[in-house]
Amino acid sequence: MVFVQLCTPFVELGDYLPFVQSRRLLAKENEQLRHDNDLLRQEVRALGETGRENLRLRQLLDVKQHTAFRTVTARVIGRDASNWWRSLQIDRGSDDGLADNMAVLNADGLIGKTISVSRGQARVLLLIDPNCKAAALLQDTREPGVVSGVETAFNISPHLTMTYVNRDAKVAPGESVITSGLGGVFPKGILIGATTRARINRQTGMYQDVDIAPAVDFRRLEEVIVIAGQE
Amino acid sequence: MNTLIAIAGILIAVALQARMPTLWWLGGVHAELLPALVAYAALTTHRRRALALALVAGLTQDALSAAPFGISALAYGIAAIVTTGLREALDRDLPWMQWSAGALISMTGSIIAFFAVGISFGNVLKMFMAASLAGLVTVVIFFVLDYARLAWGFE
């Protein structure tokens, strides 16, 4: 009787042995599952990126299908190394039919124009650079003007201004601004942005300056279309 | 050999600089690495070598920019000559001296660029932002390169 009582705790301890063994197995299985989970998460991230790229390329394809021009799709491979110019490097050049002064756009609107084209690469001067100017129209009122980038103090986002707008023109906020086709670089009808504010030019008082919110997000450019001439 | 390593370093730095994101919340500037390298060369090596490296840095930067070709080389060349001339008066081991050298070289580049892009209040403000950032980068570059020189014995 005493012997049985003395042995009882050990018998109960023996009940836990399979648990200890299965705990080891569980830890091993847990480690394997964590590893698999990491791999799957990486795969999901890669698929998400591919999906987003697919969406952007579909949008570009849609633009290509609805234009009468010969277009070349290019990837952005670099930004401007200097702080004083706004430009991009793309992975297409004269071998792909590109030349200087060709319009560059994406599904959202006008981006800029090509400058310094080499055989395999080209530099795109962005519309937000003060040196890049585009002849433009206010879409509803058909008032012409010239759009270019501006560097202002505390410039916390890319910014455009349309100058030489008739001082008597009624400019409503939110009105679309498109290229006018004058000047021969940018084809007519490409969206540039929407008006935000209009004011009489302080220096001359002869015309209005109109602030424009760009249609394109110049901070996130990955693929672009270059208009490389008539079809 | 050391000059080749320095040129390779400059090429890598320019490539990195061309991929730096623009900090719109800081007035639309991005961090510059080349003023830091020019400051390091000007305060460490002799004048002829510092000038050569500054010209290589400037020309490479211009090649990856919409800037008129040679404008940065001119700016960095002038900055390298002036900085090597001031070397005796500057204590290169003091972080604030390093910061000042990097910031001044960045400002030289900006001032030369104003001849092409024009000057405005916004541009002057942007110049100070860019210079401050370049100064900070310079302190880090001095620390890293001094450590590398000690570790690997570069001259």
**Domain locations in chain A as residue ranges:** 1-66, 69-128+220-230, 133-214
Question: Hey, are the CB atoms on A156 and B25 less than 8 Å from each other?
Answer: yes
- Under the banding of pLDDT at 50, 70 and 90, the label for residue B6 is confident
CA gap B28, A156 in Å, rounded: 6
pLDDT for residue A203? 84
CB < 8 Å to A153, chain B:
27, 121-122, 125
Chain A interface residues (partner B, CB cutoff 8 A): 78-87, 89, 115-116, 123, 125, 129-131, 150-158, 219
Question: Hey, are the CB atoms on A130 and B117 less than 8 Å from each other?
Answer: yes
Which ipTM was obtained for this model?
Answer: 0.84
CB < 8 Å to A82, chain B:
61-62, 65-67, 72, 109, 113
Nearest partner of A107 among A176, A43, A56, A147, judged by Cα: A56
pLDDT for residue B87? 84
Is B84 an interface residue toward A (CB < 8 Å)? no
Q: Which range among A27-41, A61-75, A90-104, A211-225 shows the weakest confidence by mean pLDDT?
A: A61-75
A228: tokens are 């490389």
Is B111 an interface residue toward A (CB < 8 Å)? no
Question: Hey, are the CB atoms on A82 and B123 less than 8 Å from each other?
Answer: no
CATH number at A69-128+220-230: 2.40.10.340
Q: Is A128 exposed, middle or buried (0-12, 13-18, 19+ CB in 10 A)?
A: buried
For residues B73 and B114, is the Cβ–Cβ distance under 8 A? no
Calculate the dihedral angle through the C-alpha atoms of A53, A59, A62, A68, rounding to the nearest 10 degrees: -100
DSSP B29: B
Q: How far is B150 from chain A (nearest CA, A)?
A: 30
CATH architecture of A133-214: Beta Barrel (2.40)
Question: Hey, are the CB atoms on B116 and A84 less than 8 Å from each other?
Answer: yes
pLDDT surpasses 90 at B143: yes
For residues A108-121, average pLDDT: 92
pLDDT surpasses 70 at A224: yes
DSSP A94: G
Length of chain B: 155
Percent of chain B with pLDDT over 70: 98
3-state secondary structure of B5: helix
The pLDDT tens digits for B7-39 are: 888 999 988 888 888 887 777 788 899 999 999
* Domain ranges (residues) in chain B: 2-20+32-152
pLDDT surpasses 70 at B44: yes
Question: Hey, are the CB atoms on A82 and B67 less than 8 Å from each other?
Answer: yes
Phi-psi region of A67 (alpha: psi -120 to 50; beta: other; left: phi over 0): beta
For residues B54 and B41, is the Cβ–Cβ distance under 8 A? yes
